[in-house]
């Protein structure tokens, strides 16, 4: 019985983890490294490597994909990211990425704004966006 419970835990953990696709508008020709993406979403870079302004789009903190993104891409827990942005906002040194409710809203933002960058579950990717990285 004990082995069964351990197996269930491992299976549930694997199922709960999603692959995250970082997406941009198809007209965006920038090549992005993992570090570039991290810097854009942490407000340390305001533009893409080619010099165009970057407008990062986050999913609301209640969405499990946000936790996956924060952990896999930013290397921090969601509470650490929230604390990070709270400090920057309080000191007047930064404005966090805009937030939308779900993956379809991220795709809508990215398709309508050439300078937007966002993320969705890899299964939600459409032909309307370009994937620049997966985590």
**Domain-by-domain residue ranges, the chain?**
19-134
Average pLDDT over residues 4-24: 63
pLDDT of residue 9: 43
Average pLDDT over residues 3-22: 59
Average pLDDT over residues 114-123: 97
d(CA 96, CA 41): 8
Q: What is the largest CA-CA distance in the chain?
A: 58
The mean predicted confidence, pLDDT, of the chain is 90
72-99 burial, b at 16+ Cβ within 10 Å, e below that, comes to bbbeeebeebeebbeeeeeeeeeebbee
| HSE of 75, CA atoms in CB hemisphere, 13 A | 6
Architecture of domain 19-134: 3-Layer(aba) Sandwich (3.40)
- pLDDT bracket for residue 18 (50, 70, 90): confident
Average pLDDT over residues 34-60: 97
Query: When comparing pLDDT for 17 and 61, which is higher?
Result: 61
| pLDDT reading at 5 higher than 80 | no
| pLDDT reading at 6 higher than 70 | no
Exposed/middle/buried for 51, CB within 10 Å: 0-12, 13-18, 19+?
exposed
Instruction: Please calculate the CA angle 30-70-73 and round it to the nearest 5 degrees.
Output: 40
pLDDT of residue 7: 45
């Amino acid at each position: 019985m004990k082995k069964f419970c351990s197996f269930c835990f491992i299976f549930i953990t694997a199922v709960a983890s999603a692959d995250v696709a970082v997406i941009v508008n198809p007209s965006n020709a920038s090549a992005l490294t993992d570090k570039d993406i991290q810097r854009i979403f942490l407000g340390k870079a305001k533009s893409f490597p080619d010099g165009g302004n970057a407008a990062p789009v986050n999913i609301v903190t209640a969405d499990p994909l946000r936790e996956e993104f924060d952990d896999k891409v930013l290397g921090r827990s969601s509470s650490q990211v929230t604390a990070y942005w709270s400090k920057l906002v309080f000191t007047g040194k930064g404005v966090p990425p805009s937030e939308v409710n779900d993956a379809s809203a991220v795709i809508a933002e990215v398709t309508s704004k050439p300078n937007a960058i966002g993320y969705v579950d890899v299964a939600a990717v459409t032909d309307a966006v370009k994937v620049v990285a997966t985590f």
